[in-house]
Homo-oligomer: A and B are copies of this chain.
Amino acid sequence: MQAIVKEKRAPGLKVTTVPKPSPGPGEVLIAVRHAGVCGTDLHIADWNAWAEGRLRPPVVVGHEFAGEIVAVGGAVAELRTGQLVTAEGHIVCGHCLQCRTGNSHICKNTRIIGVDRDGAFAEYIAMPATNVLPLDGIPTTVGAVMDPMGNAFHTVLTADIPGSTVFVVGCGPIGCFAVGIARAAGAAKVIASDVNAKRLALAKQMGAHVTIDATRDDVVRAVLAETGGEGADVVCEMSGVPSALHQAFAAVRLGGRVQLLGIPNGQVPVDFASEIIFKGITVYGVIGRKMYETWNQMRRYLSAGLVDPRPVITHQFPLAKIDEALAAIRSGDAGKIILEIA
């Protein structure tokens, strides 16, 4: 079958042919229809330090996807061929303390598809049935972005949103999803900031009441002005940019909550006294999606039409044009990019 493969310990991805997988016991085989391209895929293509430390090529890349079940392995009762599905890409051990206490999303034995084992930029992928979620009418274009959208759901819905003022720092695809989710969850006001006008326009389209152009405006002052001087009840930091991180702490109200999803490069100096302790705030590190509370919430939102992620999907490419997809991400102007595989 055709697949996008990290072949060697060096920059680059290759569109090539690899053997079609077959589902083991407890697994299903999925014919991939659409797959999302993520910053992680870019890091793997570029062979950055993280990729170099983690990947063992050759590996089929890609971890966001949706498709159709075409074969069912042994001991799988709850799924059947023909179902359109997406999947959680974190394959967890089930035995560790975290897995046994409802926190599989931080299982220390997690293996990620497209990183630690073959992934979804391919015509077929074999997945453990446990990780597979029926789409129940959600289109596969949307299914293909439910992994990153799940990050946004995890970020937003682990805070108390109804009636709150929510400030989303950074309007990449996950930030834009977060804007829409916060609106749907009853935020009284959603404020979003970014340095890119196209992304701010997307955030606006997803429902932000107020957008702040960080290249032009004083972000913290703007948030305070929009909140009667209090600051935001909930801040979702989706950028990983050090200056934005400080804005997150400065813009949250006393006793508020900062959700950290964006990954800063290296260390960021923090004044714990004034930024965290004296403000009496709570900070939460967001990783992955809660398995499977987040997925359950997300499917309900999507099925009920409470949020529509499609405006965020700005580009669509065939599998063979992965390099163009990566270039679009590099441009900084893209929203979410998906590959059309079948």
Contacts and interface: CB of A to CB of B under 8 A. Distances in A.
Interface residues of A, number: 68
A290 B213 CA distance: 38
A98 B277 contact: no
Interface string A239-278: 0000001000000011100001101101111111100111
A97 B296 contact: yes
Interface stretch (A60-68, A99-107, A116-124, A214-222): A99-107
Nearest to A280: B106
| Max chain B Cβ within 10 angstroms of own Cβ: one of A94, A100, A161 | A100
A327 interface: no
Contact of A280 (B281, B286, B306): B286
A10 interface: no
B292 A285 contact: no
A184 B157 contact: no
A342 interface: no
B106 A255 contact: yes
Contacts of A281: 284-285
A304 to B, nearest CB: 4
A86 to B, nearest CB: 14
| Max chain B Cβ within 10 angstroms of own Cβ: one of A75, A102, A288 | A102
A8 interface: no
| Max chain B Cβ within 10 angstroms of own Cβ: one of A106, A285, A303 | A285
